[in-house]
Structure 1
């Protein structure tokens, strides 16, 4: 009887924990979708992966309607999902800069046989063309500058730790 009661209580605990997790996830999704028109076309994405140290880990998506969704994961001041509006015309300005830098001429991957570096994934969609780049190490300075333009969109408000 004791064994059955222990099993029952343990099962109830785990089922309850799963339910709380689901509830928390849906409220985050509802919050981000209520603040941003997710039917708008994605123009830019940028994500930074972990390293062995305290590298910031986050993702961001920039939409054609001058809105942005940010998801902070680790070693950033703001953890979780949030959204914001960018100044009107900001996305068009960024598109011009990416075009001027010939974004689609960059390689799809920059890497080197070293360890402990974070990886930056950056993508740009211009009309019907999309390029996603994996930047681990050794990318051109022009690409780093474009990455920084996107990071700057969240650093003022979100305060990404450097």
Structure 2
């Protein structure tokens, strides 16, 4: 009988520990997380656009054309810039464009990490990120909030674009 009671106590202890491990998140926490993720998505899109536009402008003003830039970029990824037939000016222009892109990317990452630490908190961010991979209920709640915030942000962007465009 004693073994049976000890076994029941052990099982109930394990179950209570498992229940404590399962974290529930409030809608406010999910909303905070989602708002940072919506912001990050918008910033990534803006960064991509800025980089593309900037590369086009920088390339117009440099001895480098799009084809040569792409060729140098592919070779650089393989750490073999010397294999590309390019003038020293073209290589220098490529390195300048690459440095500008790296600077913009670093600024984004710094701001993103700051928003995670300041708005969400590193602990909550890590718990939510893990829960979104494992817990379908949390994922569904988050997705609904995320989609709503994303739609609101898109509507705000559309309104701003209409205000900025000249009337015809």
Scaled to the shorter chain, the TM-score interval is 0.3 to 0.5
Hey, which of these two has a bigger chunk of strand by percent?
A: 1
TM-score normalised by length of structure 2? 0.33
Which structure's residues are more often helix, by fraction?
2
Larger Rg: 2
| TM-score, length-scaled by structure 1 | 0.34
